[in-house]
Amino acid sequence: MEYGIAEVARIAGTTSRTLRHYGEVGLLSPSRVGANGYRYYDERALRRLQQILLLRQLGLAVATIAEVIEGATDDTSALRAHLGWLRAERDRLDRQIASVERTITGIEEEGRVMAEEMFDGFDHTQYKEEVEARWGATAYADADRWWRGLGAQGQRGFMAEHSAIAEQWARLRAEGAPVDGPAARALARRHRAWIAAGWGGKPEGAVTAEALVGLADMYVADERFAANYGGTEGARYVRDALTSYAIEELA
């Protein structure tokens, strides 16, 4: 059974333009091209597309995705690897949910909460291999040393700052504030400062225009990031605002 490019885009939640791009770079070729130039995809192509989209959610570049997929012995082995990651991510989210629920209960019923309970499920060390693969061992070591040096109070303050930034992004989006307007521009600067702090307490200048745009793209591509901004649509607003700020003021 074959599907036209528009139908595949609808089913997969992507765009025909993206599918064409994947074809142009050799990542996902259509199973055939009709005499009218229309592209058609069979079930094998759909399985490959599923793998591509799953890896995109991890923030991997197209070239890296090609290497990962070609290195897999078969579709099943690649899917098993993806399934393992998804289960681990589900377990982490379950722990975070339970942690926040305990925090709410502690505040409402007792007026206090144990710091250890607040951070259950927020173990940054679980991303050690991923961070080192993307940005190098030094980047992880610097951030880890900075994070541990903050102490419980500093860690709470860092997380509270991000929560405040995320809430403000949601407010601006709800108000219809333009992504290149003064309010969004000011919040983008604040967001950049927060990112720099998370990179081991570095100055804002360490977050270059290229780095900021790359991170902004990850907010949309990776569901773990998008969830912080109310899902994909909210993440797109944040991405567009950060990208506009990076291009206009940092490039």
pLDDT tens readout for residues 41-63? 998 899 888 888 877 766 666 77
Which helix (H) or strand (E) covers residue 86, if one does? helix 75-105
Nearest-angstrom CA–CA distance, 192 and 245: 10
> How far is the CA of 5 from the CAs of 10, 21, 75, 241, in angstroms?
9, 12, 21, 30
Look at residue 179 in the predicted model and tell me its pLDDT.
Answer: 94
**Higher-confidence position of 20 and 65:** 20
Percent share of the chain, pLDDT over 70: 71
**pTM, rounded to two decimals:** 0.50
DSSP category for residue 108: I
Average pLDDT over residues 205-229: 84
Q: Which pLDDT tens digit goes with each residue over 166-177?
A: 899 999 999 999
On the question of pLDDT at 117 being above 50, the answer is no
DSSP string, 154-168: HHHHHHHHHHHHHHH
Which residues lie below 8 Å from residue 134, measured CB to CB, with a gap of 6+?
59
Average pLDDT over residues 6-29: 88
* Angle value at C-alpha 88, between 87 and 94, nearest 5 degrees: 90
Lowest mean pLDDT among 100-109, 110-119, 168-177: 110-119
Percent share of the chain, pLDDT over 90: 22
Q: Which pLDDT tens digit goes with each residue over 177-192?
A: 999 999 999 999 999 9
Nearest-angstrom CA–CA distance, 150 and 168: 24
